[in-house]
Chain A
Amino acid sequence: MSWGDDNTLRVHITGIGWVTAAGVGAGRVNDKFALPQGPLPRIDPSDIFEKPWPNFRRMDRYSRLGLTALALALKDAGLSRWTRKRIIGIIASTVYGCLQTDVDYYKTVIPGRGANASPALFSYTLANSYLGEGAIRFGLTGTNYVLTEQHPSGLAALRTALNHMSMGGGSKFLAGVCDVECPDIFGEPGKTPAGAVFFMLERSFTRKISPYGQVSTDKEGEINLDGNQIKDLPALVQTCLDRFHHA
């Protein structure tokens, strides 16, 4: 951790994980990142999680997507294994959240006027449910919520996590984005490409690990990496990868 000349908090990015139409990846494994429009790849949990997670397959697609990217970021940062719960927060942005799950759930309500309503599906009709699943799986007891930007930039969760960290609201955060494809009911392509990306942010760490850089916000709320302004989410990921793999 350090404080910049302008008294803004700078924190390390120590892990990156993603699932996009271009593939599944993590910062230390892949040197290229893209967030194109298109169908998302199928996720095999045995490729992602070190221990079996039987409930994973029962979750909705939005949750599986977000949890995969979140798990990859934690693993990339060397934080996926734990014995005691940790004060690590999670903040994620979304445009559509679990809206497709909402539609799927309500279709269980209609036929029997509630008699067949699925409690299992209803549990995932909250945009933040998957963060709770992630908190349980990885023992994360910090601040934990979902937000939606009025004008999506993909960087609001990062900005919000940095604000929490600067106000003493925790020293480690996962921050990212998660969206499945635009729900069918809209009948049109989504506002943003489907995919999930998470960053592991840490004020300080003692593990032997090379961070990707130090991220901060300036007075206008713009995101900077090592003092250089970043225009959007893909640029932030790719800049981190370039620094790590080509430094």
Chain B
Amino acid sequence: METGLVVATDAAVITPFSGARENGEESLWQGLMAGRTAIGPIRRFPVDQGHYRARIASHMDDLKGSDGRSMLRDLLLRLVPEIGPVPPDSLMITATIKAGADNLESFCHGRQAHLPDLLLSSIADIMGPALSIDSNGICISASCASSTIAVAHGAALIQSGRAEVVLVSCGDIITEYAFSGFSSLKALSPVPCRPFDRDRQGLSLGEGAAALLLMSARRARRENRNRLGTVLGWGITNDATHITAPERRGKGLVQAVRQALNMAETDPEEITAISAHGTGTIYNDLMELNAFRQVFGKRKIPIYSVKGAIGHTLAAAGAIEVILGFKTLSEQTAPPTVGFENPEKGADGKVSAEPQPVSGHYLLTTNSGFGGVNAALVLGR
């Protein structure tokens, strides 16, 4: 097997922007570019009777669980017609934080529930048969950086010659379980989240799924595949300071970004845009701006977050943002940061509520999460 360049050849995204017969990636891109948000009133479980800090999220009204199966299954299966063909020898790497947590709720309320959907390995159990892949793969669970790390791991396996083709698939759904937890931590915004805005009040949860097919460049050429972009470098670190809060100076993220840049043999000056984690929480956004300032100095590099449009899709966030990162590079346009109005210190001239032109070949995408995890990827055109 050829070692070297890792090419993304195909991708699929499902978010609340995805219509029944529309291309999920294109409808997401169009929604982003129009500055729309999918964050709205929750209709999946009763929030009016609850004691929650928010009553909104970005979720799909038509997502169904049937015969005791989790809604996660419905979500993931929507990826299948949008990606492919997927080679049967693909190694499968999946990512989720809570898998079919709706079935935990069902079980606790005495309703029918297929309990294996609760396991982290359930994504592969759903996607493998649907795509006719029999892969002894792994599922990565690293809070909000799960699928970012899955992409890094897949790229590492290809670059080291241990795999030719890797399918990364990931997803998480909106459940009362997760919603109540983030509410109890006082992390939810009562209004749609506003990343990097001075008046931000917290995050908005979202649901989504993504699949990304990675190949060695040689295999991609041999199969005459599309080239969405390349995965050039990655870095994964831990803050080692707090379980649920970021290290305020951003030292861990800086370390991850520098690792990724070194591996990609890319200078900070060559990065044309940053897809930030940008959750809209006070401390995450400050931490990220601090970290980016340390790596990129005072340069007015376009920074964007998609979470004001689709919410925080938990384990799916990283892969969705990788796919949008490729789109940003191909369109040479960074999407708007929906909800952004009044710049947080350090965001002025970098974050915008309007699309921003970019000019270059390399993009940085980052995610950080509970447990102190930071992950950074350098993507190429």
Residues of A within 8 A of B (CB): 85, 89-90, 93-97, 99, 102-103, 105-107, 109-110, 112-115, 117-119, 122-123, 125-129, 131-133, 135-136, 139-151, 156, 160, 163-164, 166-169, 185-186, 221
Contact = CB atoms under 8 A, between A and B. Distances in A.
Contacts of A106: 104-105, 108, 177
A164 B121 CA distance: 22
B43 interface: no
B21 to A, nearest CB: 32
Interface string B93-121: 00001100100110111000001001111
Given A141-B238, A151-B136, A166-B160, A186 B120 contact: no
Given A141-B238, A169-B259, 7 more contacts: A122-B181, A126-B370, A128-B143, A143-B238, A145-B140, A148-B120, A169-B234
Contact of A163 (B118, B120, B157): B157
A156 B104 CA distance: 27
Contacts of A163: 153, 156-157, 160, 162
Interface residues of B, number: 68
Complex A-B, nearest 10 residue pairs according to Cβ-Cβ distance, in ascending order: A132-B371, A145-B142, A115-B51, A122-B181, A117-B184, A119-B184, A144-B238, A143-B236, A135-B240, A148-B120
Contacts of B371: 126, 128-129, 131-132, 135, 144
Contacts of A97: 120, 141
Contacts of B255: 141
Given A114-B52, A128-B373, A167-B159, A109 B141 contact: no
A217 B176 CA distance: 43
Contacts of B179: 114
A166 B160 CA distance: 8
A143 B115 CA distance: 31
Interface stretch (B68-76, B198-206, B241-249): B241-249
Contact of B243 (A133, A146, A185): A133
A156 B91 CA distance: 14
Given A95-B119, A139-B240, A150 B160 contact: no
Interface in B63-92: 92
B343 interface: no
A169 B135 CA distance: 25
Contact of B156 (A95, A128, A145, A167): A167
B162 A147 contact: no
* Secondary structure call for the B interface: mixed
28 contacts: A85-B240, A103-B104, A103-B108, A105-B177, A106-B108, A109-B177, A114-B180, A117-B184, A126-B370, A126-B371, A131-B371, A132-B373, A135-B371, A141-B240, A141-B255, A142-B238, A144-B373, A145-B142, A145-B146, A146-B141, A146-B142, A147-B141, A148-B119, A149-B121, A149-B136, A150-B124, A169-B234, A169-B236
Given A126-B141, A129-B370, A160-B138, A96 B236 contact: no
Contact of A122 (B52, B156, B160, B185): B185
Given A126-B370, A169-B156, A112 B242 contact: no
Interface of B: 46, 49-52, 92, 97-98, 101, 104-105, 107-109, 115, 118-121, 124-125, 128, 135-143, 145-146, 149, 153, 156-157, 159-160, 162, 176-177, 179-186, 234, 236-244, 252, 255, 259, 263, 370-373
Given A126-B371, A127-B120, A144 B236 contact: yes
Nearest to A128: B371
A119 B182 CA distance: 8
Given A129-B243, A145-B140, A114 B183 contact: yes
A135 B184 contact: no
A126 to B, nearest CB: 5
A145 B108 contact: no
A96 B160 CA distance: 30
Contacts of B236: 89, 142-145, 169
Contacts of B136: 149-151
A103 B136 CA distance: 28
Nearest to B101: A102
A144 B371 CA distance: 9
Contacts of A147: 138-141
A96 B121 CA distance: 9
Contact of B51 (A99, A112, A148): A112
Contacts of A96: 119
Given A132-B370, A167-B156, A145 B242 contact: no
Nearest to B93: A147
Contacts of A146: 140-142
Contacts of A94: 120
Contacts of A136: 240-243, 372
